[in-house]
Amino acid sequence: MAFDRELWSGTYARSHFPNFPCPKCSKGRARHDGEAIKVAEPTYSSKNREDSDWEPAWDVERFSLNLVCDNSSCGEIVVVSGDTSLVEYYDDEDNRWVYSSHLQPRSMFPAPLIIDIPVQAPRDVSENIRLASSHYWLDTSASANRLRTSIEFLLDFLQVPRETVNPTSGSTKRLDLNARIAHYEQLNQEHAPSLTALRMIGNLGSHGENVQQEALLDAFEIYEYTLDALCGQRKARVEALRQKLISTKGKYE
């Protein structure tokens, strides 16, 4: 399934809040439960309209809503909260630019996974992707940092050492992520560049620098592809099926 970048845009029309992958069963879709979206405005915001210089962008609103998994055997509830933001668009009927107040989630709990995780992926890899998905709504830097941590555990799964031993002195030296990826590149030149790209975005998060949403989504998309190749074993399975068809000429006993 292609990575649905639009789903993770971060701002949504009130009348078209999207359906997200269920964070519990992964089979169903977490849909708005149909209850009215709760929107509240702080007192200080409403008082701002008394100012002669008031502009629509000054308004502050908070919202909350629930999503419910449509898988009848699951029914997970995702609590969404955040604020609103003004989106400008052109109204063809009125022939003018107008503002629309969209919902901007700052928290989803439990958070839907932004990418598919192969069942074969180690728990530590999966858990840090879950945390990256949770942080995504409020702190992209923290989200990127969790992706970086996940890569460290992925390299453990791929049996890339965290330390190297000096053959002369016998002393050990800890390998940083860059060195581990360089080590892995000697074994797999195809996917090592993907890990390097993920390291770059993870380094920004680790250093507390601002991580752009577009760059972070690029990283998620790359990671989904890489995980499928390295943990999902799809390539190996397809090769096995191909050889089976060729060797039997399609005639299975």
Which residue in 84, 79, 85, 70 sits closest to 112, CA to CA? 79
**Which pLDDT does position 234 carry in this prediction?**
66
Long-range CB pairs of 38-45, under 8 A, 24+ apart, other chains included: 38/63, 38/64, 38/65, 39/63, 39/84
Check residue 34 and give its pLDDT: 87
Predicted local distance difference test score (pLDDT) of residue 31:
97
pLDDT in tens, 118-127: 999 999 999 9
Residue in this structure with the two tokens 């860059």, named with its chain if needed: 178
> Which residue ranges in the chain fall short of pLDDT 50?
none
Instruction: State residue 98's pLDDT score.
Output: 78
| pLDDT (0 to 100) of residue 168 | 77
Query: How much is the pLDDT for 1?
Result: 57
pTM, to two decimals = 0.87
Supply the pLDDT for residue 218.
Answer: 96
The whole-angstrom separation of Cα 12 and Cα 100 is 10
Encode pLDDT of 40-89 as tens digits: 999 999 999 999 999 888 899 999 999 999 999 999 999 999 999 988 77
Question: What is the reported pLDDT for 148?
Answer: 96
Q: What is the pLDDT of residue 252?
A: 78
